[in-house]
Amino acid sequence: MSIHITAAKGEIAKTVLMPGDPLRAKYIADHFLQNVKLVNQTRNAFYFTGTYNNKPVTVGASGMGCPSIGIYSYELFTEYEVETIVRIGTCGAYTTELDLFDLINVDAAASESTFAKYAWGIEGALIKHQGNAFDRINETAKKLNQPLKACHVHSSDIFYRKDAGTPAVAVENNCLAVEMEAFSLFANAKHLGKTAGTLLTVSDIIPTHRSISAEEREKALLPMMKLALEAV
């Protein structure tokens, strides 16, 4: 079966940062990495490899949702021998315990998705982060004096839904926020014995309908990008 990434073997670093948006991957490469090379643009999923503090790093898009990151992360882990993937992105808060611009280090992801069960026979709705990425992010945040919160998140396959309330799976697993990818990333890493973390910026407060403006978004995500790069 052909794969969805066309980088040559050796062009992907052992550590990968994965935003959902290919243009966000380009932004990180342009503003943070040195010696940058575009190594994949198939399906406009841009992947760039360069160095940060003299360490090789690849940054590349996951696309949206569990199926998309499930494909890309699996191929990175298996075809390119990647050891660590850290997803970076945004999330919506289910509660006013979180505020706009808060940074979240995801301890575990819960989902109604059947991805983990039918791909790898992993039962249960909750999967923890894998390996030491979570701890490295916490330690790096302390060194940088960067405020950081740890919590469970809901990885939903649904962006728009009829019922506005917090879904049962999120309530049952004490999920404070919702995103769309961490669950399948953690499932792949668990199955393959790899390292996976997720670092998120709160962009929306769902109960109060507050959100980050388009103008605020780029600046708001800079602390997350910096923390992820320093941690890996």
Ordered by start, the domain boundaries in the chain are 15-231
Q: What is the pLDDT of residue 164?
A: 80
Mean pLDDT of 59-79: 97
- Residue 218, pLDDT > 80, answer no
CATH topology of domain 15-231: Rossmann fold (3.40.50)
Options 21, 107, 157, 204, the catalytic residue: 204
User: Tokens 């709160």 identify what position?
Assistant: 202
Check residue 112 and give its pLDDT. 96
Torsion 208-127-195-18 (CA) sign = negative
Q: Tell me if 119 sits within 8 A of 70, measured CB to CB.
A: yes
The DSSP secondary-structure symbol of 164 reads: -
Q: Quick check: pTM over 0.95? A: yes
Can 163 be counted among the known catalytic residues?
no
Strand 84-93 versus strand 175-179 pairing type: antiparallel
pLDDT at residue 1 above 80?
Answer: no
What pLDDT, on a 0 to 100 scale, did the predictor assign at position 211?
96
Mean pLDDT (whole number) for 178-204: 98
- What is the mean pLDDT of the segment spanning 67-78? 98
Query: Residue 32 in 3-state DSSP?
Result: helix
For the chain, the average pLDDT equals 96
| 2, pLDDT greater than 90 | no
E strand spans, 68-102:
84-93
57: buried, middle or exposed (CB in 10 Å: 19+, 13-18, 0-12)? buried
Residue type, 37: K
DSSP 123: -
